Amino acid sequence: MITCDSSVQLPFQAGAHGLACDGVSIQSIVATVGTPVYIYSARAIRDAYRSIDDAFAGYPHAIHYALKANSTLAIVRQLKALGSRVDANSSGEIEVALRAGFAPREIVFTGVGKTGAELDYAIAHDVGAINAESAGELDRIAARARAAGRVVRVALRVNPDIDAQSHPNISTGLRSNKFGVALQDARGIYRARRDEKSLQFVGVHVHIGSQITTAEPLRRAAAVLTTLALELRDDGVPLEHVDLGGGLGIAYEGRPMITAAEYAAAVLPELRRANLPVVLEPGRAIVAHSGALVARVADVKQYPDGRRFAVLDAGMSELMRPALYGSFHRIVPVSPRQTPETPWDVVGPICESSDVFARERPLPELCVDDLVAILDTGAYGAVMASNYNRRLLAPEVLVDEGRWSVIRRRQTIDDVLALES
Ligand SMILES: Cc1ncc(COP(=O)(O)O)c(C=O)c1O
C-alpha cells in the first residue's frame, strides 16, 4: 500500500482489475464519463484535512482552506462539513464560499491587486479579515469602509524576505516577489493607522510560498510574525490572530516530506510566545493527493533516434502545472501491464512545445486508446484549466464510500460560445 508521509493513504492504487480510486474502478467511471476527467477521493480530502487539524489540536487554530487550490463546489462543501473555513483570493472565490454555505466571518480575503469592486464586495459582506497587500490598499479599504459606514477587519500581509526553498514561481516571501509589505515597514504602517476608526486590525499575515518541503522556512516565518504581533501589542494594536498562510508541500515524487505534525512542532513554540490563535491557509496539502487526471492515449509516435511520444487527449489546457513550473507528476497506466518499462515522452495535444507532462519517463508499452492517470493533481489542476485551442473543460468526479458522482459536467461548445456575440 502506498502512503504519503503524512500517513494519508493514497487513494489511487493498482488492483488486479486496474487502477482504482478507493476501490472504485477508474475504467468504470471512464466508461460513463469519458476522458479527460478529473477524479477525486473524498476520503483522502478528509484524511488530509484531519491530519492538519489534529497536528494543531492542542493550540487555538482555524484552518482556512485555500480555495485557489481547488474550488469546485462539491469539494468546498466537503471542507465545510469538516469544520474548515476558507481563504479566498477573488470576489469569485468569496462567492463560491458563500454558495457553499460559509458564513462571511469564516472567510479571509487575500490577494495582490484587489480591485475597488472586490473591496466593496468584501466590505459589504463583512468578511472575517481582508489581508491587505500594501499601505495603499489599507488606505483604500479605510476610505471605502468610511463611505459605507462600516468597520472592516483587516490584517497586513508581511513579506519577511524568507526563502521558502521551493520552485521560484511559487515562492512568495522574498523581497523580489510582489507580495506583501517589507517587514521593516510593517510596524510603522500599523502604528500610523491605529486610530483609523474604519479599520479594525485583527491580525498579521504571511504566506512565503507553496510546495514547501522543510520546516525551517515555515518556523522562521512564524517567528517573524509572532515578534511583530508582540511589538504591535506594545504599540497598543492588540491582534486576534497570526495568519501563517499555506505552503505545506506534498510528496509528488515520494521524497521525504514535512508532515503536518512536524510543521506544527516547528511553528507552535514560536506562536506560543504571543499565545495568539493561529490561522492556517493550506490548499495543496489538503487536496493534491486526492485527485488524478485520467486521459486516453490519442496517438503514439516514434522518431528514428528511438524517442517515443504518447500523445494524450489531455494537455496543458487541462493540467498546466508541468508546462508552467516543470512540475513532476507520477503517471500510471490504468490497466495492469506486464511489459517492461522504457522511456516515454508523455505529451498533450496542444500546439505548444511546452505541452509536455513528462520527458523520458519509464513506462510500460503504451498503445492508442490506453488510459493513463496523472496522479496528485487535486490541487492547482482543474482550477487552472483553460479553453485554449477551444478545448472544453473536463468533467470532475468525486468518489466517496464506494460510490461516485459527477460534481462538474463536461463543458460543451455551447457553454463556451454562449458568452460571444
Ligand atoms: C495567500 C495564500 N494562502 C494560501 C495559499 C495556499 O498555498 P498552498 O496550496 O501551498 O497551501 C496560497 C497559494 O499560493 C496563497 O497565495
Report how far ligand 1's centroid is from the alpha carbon of 166 (Å).
13
Could you confirm whether 351 is annotated as catalytic?
yes
Nearest CA to ligand 1 atom 13: 210
Confidence band of 173 (pLDDT split at 50, 70, 90): low
Cα Rg of the chain (Å, integer): 22
E-assigned strand segments in 71-230: 85-88, 107-109, 129-132, 152-159, 181-182, 199-205
Pocket test for ligand 1, best of 51, 52, 75, 87 (most atoms within 8 A of CB): 87
Percentage, residues of the chain above pLDDT 90: 90
Tell me how far the alpha carbon of residue 207 lies from the centroid of ligand 1, in angstroms.
7
d(CA 260, CA 267): 11
Please name which of 421, 346, 356, 418 lies closest in space to residue 387, comparing C-alpha atoms: 418
89, 107, 207, best to mutate for ligand 1 pocket (most atoms within 8 Å of CB): 207
Ligand 1 site, CB within 6 A: 66, 68-69, 87, 110, 207, 210, 245-248, 281-285, 379
User: Whose CA is closest to 252, among 217, 281, 292?
Assistant: 292
pLDDT of residue 163: 72
Which one is predicted more confidently, 6 or 404?
Answer: 404
CA 26, 99, 288, 313 torsion-angle sign: positive
Tens-digit pLDDT profile for residues 107-122:
999 999 999 999 999 9
CB contact burial 45-65 (16+ within 10 A = b; e otherwise): bbbbbbbbbebbeeeebbbbb
Give the pLDDT confidence of 278-318 residue by residue, as tens digits: 999 999 999 999 999 999 999 999 999 999 999 999 999 99
Q: What is the pLDDT of residue 179?
A: 79
DSSP assignment of 121-145 equals HHHHHT-SEEEE-SHHHHHHHHHHH
Find how far residue 295's CA is from the centre of its chain: 22
Q: ∠ at Cα 259 (86, 278), nearest 5°?
A: 40
What pLDDT does residue 176 have?
Answer: 65
User: Which atom of ligand 1 is nearest the CA belonging to 210?
Assistant: 10
Atom of ligand 1 nearest to the CA of 131: 1
What is the whole-number distance in angstroms between the Cα of residue 65 and the centre of ligand 1? Answer: 9
What's the 190 CA to ligand 1 centre distance in angstroms? 24
The 10 Å Cβ neighbour count of residue 417 is 10
Ligand 1 atom nearest to 205, measured from its CA: 1
10 Å CB burial of residue 35 (0-12, 13-18, 19+) is buried
Q: Give all strands (DSSP E) within 29-96, no chain letters.
A: 37-41, 61-66, 85-88
What share of residues in the chain are helix, strand, coil (percent, to 5)? Answer: 35, 25, 40
Q: Which residue's CA lies nearest to atom 16 of ligand 1?
A: 207
Q: Over 80: is that where the pLDDT of 165 sits? A: no
Q: Give 245 Cα–ligand 1 centroid separation in angstroms.
A: 6
CB 6 within 8 A of CB 44: no
Question: Do residues 21 and 12 make contact, with C-beta atoms less than 8 angstroms apart?
Answer: yes
